[in-house]
Structure 1
Amino acid sequence: MDEQSATDQLNKNGTDVAPVPSRDHDADNRRPWSLAFFLILIPGFFLADLLHPAILNRRLFDVVNNASSHHYDMLDTIDILFAIVLSVAIVTVCVLTLLRKRKLLLRLTVLTYCFAIPIGLTEAFFQLFSIPKLYPPGMVRVVEPKPDVAPGISGPSRMTINHFGLRGPEPHGEPRKILCIGGSTTICTYLDDSETWPAVLMSYLNADSHHTPTCVENAGKNGLDLLHHIEFLKRCKISHEFSDCIVLCGVNDLEHSVRMPRNDRVALAPSHVFDVGGPDYPLTPHFKQAFLYKMFKSAVKRIIEKPEVESDDSEGEFYTERRKERQQATKDYPLPPLAEHCAFYKQCLVSLKNLCDEQGLHLILMTQPVLWRDDLPPELDRLLWSRPIGHTGQALSVESLAEGMKAFNDTLREFCHEANVELVDLAAALPKDNSVFYDDEHFNEDGARQVARLIADHFHAHNAP
C-alpha cells in the first residue's frame, strides 16, 4: 500500500494523521553545507594566501630584512583589514548555513562564481602567455635628490621604461644592440635617462663615424646580484635581440654574501628579478602578484596621481636615514672568511659565461668600483650608508668593506684571465672620491661619464665595428 492510500484509509477511520514529509521538504530542511563549502572556498583561499607568508615564511622575513636596505612587514594595515573582511564573510556564510538560508546561499554562490570564473580564466591567460619584463613597460619615474644627499647630481631626473621593460630608447633598427646588466650602479636611478652610463656610452659610440650605429639598453635593477643576472638571461626572452652583453657586478654579491645564507639567496633569486611575468615572490601573497591585481592597482594610481609617473623617495630621504643609521652603529662587525664566497662567485661567473655563449652574446665583464678605501677622509666617510648587519648594531668598517670588494674584484679578474673574457677594469681606473661617487658605490653625473668613456675606449681598442 502506498503512502497516499494509507493516509486515505486512516482518514476514513476518523483518525488525524500528520502528513508524511516529502523528500524535497527534507532537502530544504537540511543545512546547505555543500553550498557553503563552495561559497567559503574563494574568501578562504584569499585569507590563506594572505596569511601564509607570515605563518610559513617567518624565518625568510628575518633573512630578507637582514639583507635588504628596506624593511618588509609581514602584514600591513590594509592586509589586516582585508583579512578581517574575509573572516567576516566566512562567518556570515556559516551563519546563513545554520539558519538554512538555502535560496540566499544559492544566489550568492552563483553570483560569486559568475565573477570568479571569468576573472580566473583571464588571469590564467596572462600568466601563460606573458613575457617576463624587468619593469612595467611605459613606466616613468621622476626624482630630484637634494644636493647634499647626492653630490654631483643636479636637477630632476626622469627614468623611462620602453616596451622591452628596460630603461633606454626604443630600438630603431640599429645593426648593433648592447645589453647592459647590473644592479643599482647600472640602472643609476638618480640620474636622468640621458645621464646614465649606458646612455652616455651609446652617445659616445654613435658619435664615432667609423662605428656601427648602436642601441644600448639598460637592464640594471636595484639590489640585483649575479644570481639574479643569470635568472634574467634565462627568462627574459629578448637576448636574441642583442649582440653584446656588458655586466657590472660585485658589490651586491659581497653584501648579500655577508648578510644572507647562500641557500636562501639561491631560493629567492628567481622571484626577485622581474616586475612583470616572473615567478611569484614567496613573501608576498600570490593574488598581489597577479596581472589583474597589478593592472587594477596601476589604474587606481593613475586616477589618484599623475598618469604613468612614479615618484619613490624623490628627494633621497632614504640615504639620509641610512647614513644616520651607519653613523650610530659601531664599525666593528668582523668580515667573514671570503674564500668560500669568492669560490661561489666564480661558479656564478662560469654559469653567466656559459649562458651568454649559448645565447650568442659577446660578454664583457667589469670590476665594481667603490668609494671604500683605507684612508677615506671624514667628509667622504659621511657619504657612506652601508648599514649594520642584521640587528647587531654593528656595521663593517670601511677597511673591511674595501677588503671584501677587492677580494670579489680579484676573483672576477682571475676568471676573465682564465676564461678569456673581455674585462673593463673600472675599479683600477676610477678614482675613489666624490668626483665619481655620491655614496658608497653609485655614480654621479661625472662618474657615469667616466665609466662610459672607459667602456667606449675598450670598444675602440678592441676594434669593435
Structure 2
Amino acid sequence: MIDLLVYSALGAAAAFALAELGARAWIRKRDRWYIHQPFSRRHFTIATDVVPQLPGEATFEANADGERGDPVPEHPESVLRVLVAGGSAAECFLLDQKDTWSAALQDELRRRPQLGQGVHVGNVARSLITCRKINAILARVVPRLRSLDVVVLMVGASDLVDWFEAKTPPVIEEGPFQLADYVAEHPEGPFGWKPKTLALYQIARGLNVRLRRPVQVKKNVGATIAKHRAARAATKNLLMETPDPAPMLNAFETHLRALIETCQKSAKHVVVAQQPWLDRDFTPDEAKRLWNFGQGSPYRGALDAYYDIDLVRSLMERVDEVAVKVADEMGAARVDLRRFVPSDFDHFYDFLHHSPKGAKLVGAAIADKIASLQEAGPG
C-alpha cells in the first residue's frame, strides 16, 4: 500500500513537471508580448480635489491584444486599424477610457463617412517609457497585429524626464534593460517552481482574467500629485541650467528613427503627434499646480532640487525640433498639436497631461491628419 502511494505521488509529480515544462515551451513558442493584461479591467476613483478638471470615476480596460480600447473586430482587415504608442501623455492614465484622446480619435474617425469603413483605435502607451524601450516593445507587438494601417507616436517628454531623473548625465549609458519590467505579459519568465513563477500559473491567471473579467478597484487615484506639487513649490534649489543636452537629444533622435522604422515595416502610415505642453508664463498660483521635473524620481523618495519651468520649456522645444526633423526625413506624417490645443488649465491638468477637454482636441487634430492620409492613398 505504501509503495502504491509512493509510486502514485511520484507519478503525479512527474506529470505535473511535464505539464509545467510543456506550458513553458508553449508560452515561449507563442511569443506574445502585451503592454496590458489582455481582458483586464480597472476602475479608479479620482482625487478631484487635486485634479478638478477630471471626472470622479475612470475605467481602464484592455482588449484581447492587450491594448487599452474597444474589442478588436473579428476581421480587423475590414476596418481602419490605428495603434497609439508613447508615454504618459498618450496613455492618459487618469482619464476615463471614453475621455482619452485615443478614444476621441476613434470617435472622430468614425464620423468621417469618406473613409468608407469601420475604425478601431488601440492604445499601448505607457508612462515614463523612453523611445528606446517603446521601440523594443513595438518590435515584438506590431508584427503580430493583423492589418495595421496607422501607428500614432506621441514621444519625447519621457526621454527628457528620464534624463532629468538620471541627473542630466553628460553621457547616456545604454546598457541592457529588462524589457519584461515594462509589459504585463511576456514569454521570458523567468520561470521557477514556486507557485507564482510557474508557467501554469501564468496561463491560469490569464484564463481567469479572460473568463471572469474581474475588476481591480483603486481609490483616490491622483492624490499623490498634491504631495509632489507641495514639494516642488517648497524647493529651495531651483536649477536654472543643465549640462549640454546634446547627448540626450542625440539618443532621442537615434531611437526615434529606429522606432519609426519599426512601425513603417508593419503599418501603412506613421504619424508623429508632436507632443504639446503647457507653454505659457505662469502666475504664482498657477506655478503651484506644477509638480514634474525634479532631479531624480519623486516616486523613489524626496527630491532636493527641481528644474526651472522656463528651462523645461526651452528643452521641450529642442526635443520637438528633433521630432520634426526625424519625421520629415523618414517620410512620417506629423501633427503640430500646439496649434490646436490651448495652453491653459482647462485643457491640461499639469504641464504635460491633457484634461478630457484637451484630449478631445488632440483626437480631432490627429483624426484630420489620418483622414487626409487615407484620402491621399498609399504613399
What TM-score range do you get, normalising by the shorter chain? 0.7 to 0.9
Q: Is 1:413 the counterpart of 2:317 in the alignment?
A: no
Whole-angstrom distance in 2 between the partners of 1:138 and 1:447: 28
Whole-angstrom distance in 1 between the partners of 2:159 and 2:259: 14
Q: Is 1:181 the counterpart of 2:85 in the alignment?
A: yes
Q: Is 1:323 the counterpart of 2:229 in the alignment?
A: yes
Q: Is 1:223 the counterpart of 2:134 in the alignment?
A: no
Q: 1:319 to 1:456 in 2, by over 3 A?
A: same
| Match 1:308 to one of 206, 211, 214 | 214
What TM-score results when the alignment is normalised by the length of structure 1? 0.68
Shift, 1:342, TM fit: 0.9
Looking at CA atoms only, which structure, 1 or 2, has the larger radius of gyration?
1
What is aligned with 1:394?
305
Q: 1:297 to 1:244 in 2, by over 3 A?
A: closer
What is aligned with 1:380?
286
Shift, 1:186, TM fit: 1.4
Q: 1:363 to 1:298 in 2, by over 3 A?
A: closer
Q: 1:406 to 1:156 in 2, by over 3 A?
A: same
Whole-angstrom distance in 2 between the partners of 1:323 and 1:296: 42
Shift, 1:277, TM fit: 1.0
Unaligned ranges ≥5, structure 1: 1-104
Q: Is 1:456 the counterpart of 2:360 in the alignment?
A: no
Whole-angstrom distance in 1 between the partners of 2:351 and 2:189: 31
What is aligned with 1:204?
108
Over the residues paired in the alignment, what is the CA RMSD in angstroms? 3.3
Task: Spell out the pairing of 1:88-127 with structure 2 (5 A cutoff).
Answer: 115-116=16-17, 118-127=19-28
- Structure 1: which amino acid aligns with 2:67? L
Whole-angstrom distance in 2 between the partners of 1:132 and 1:354: 19
Shift, 1:450, TM fit: 0.8
> SS where residue 149 of structure 1 aligns?
coil
Asked if 1 retains the 8 angstrom alpha-carbon contact of 2:99 and 2:359, the reply is: yes
Q: 1:291 to 1:106 in 2, by over 3 A?
A: closer
Q: Size of the alignment, in residue pairs?
A: 356
What is aligned with 1:341?
248
Task: Spell out the pairing of 1:36-51 with structure 2 (5 A cutoff).
Answer: none
Select between 259-268 and 330-339 the one with higher mean Cα deviation. 259-268
Shift, 1:140, TM fit: 0.5
Asked if 2 retains the 8 angstrom alpha-carbon contact of 1:201 and 1:452, the reply is: yes
Aligned sequence identity (%): 21
Asked if 1 retains the 8 angstrom alpha-carbon contact of 2:260 and 2:270, the reply is: yes
Whole-angstrom distance in 2 between the partners of 1:231 and 1:257: 19
Shift, 1:461, TM fit: 4.4
- Structure 2: which amino acid aligns with 1:146? A
Return the structure number with greater relative CO, CA threshold 8 A, min gap 6: 2
What is aligned with 1:150?
51
Q: 1:233 to 1:299 in 2, by over 3 A?
A: closer
What is aligned with 2:272?
365
Shift, 1:117, TM fit: 5.0
Task: Spell out the pairing of 1:15-26 with structure 2 (5 A cutoff).
Answer: none
What TM-score results when the alignment is normalised by the length of structure 2? 0.82
> SS where residue 453 of structure 1 aligns?
helix
Whole-angstrom distance in 2 between the partners of 1:286 and 1:265: 33
| Match 1:166 to one of 64, 67, 84 | 67
1:289-308 Cα offsets, whole Å, 9 max, x none, are 65444566789999xxx962
Asked if 1 retains the 8 angstrom alpha-carbon contact of 2:90 and 2:125, the reply is: yes
- Structure 1: which amino acid aligns with 2:94? Y
What is aligned with 1:24?
none
Whole-angstrom distance in 1 between the partners of 2:227 and 2:200: 35
> SS where residue 241 of structure 1 aligns?
coil
Shift, 1:266, TM fit: 5.1
What is aligned with 1:439?
350
Asked if 2 retains the 8 angstrom alpha-carbon contact of 1:325 and 1:387, the reply is: no
Whole-angstrom distance in 2 between the partners of 1:458 and 1:176: 14
Whole-angstrom distance in 2 between the partners of 1:278 and 1:395: 39
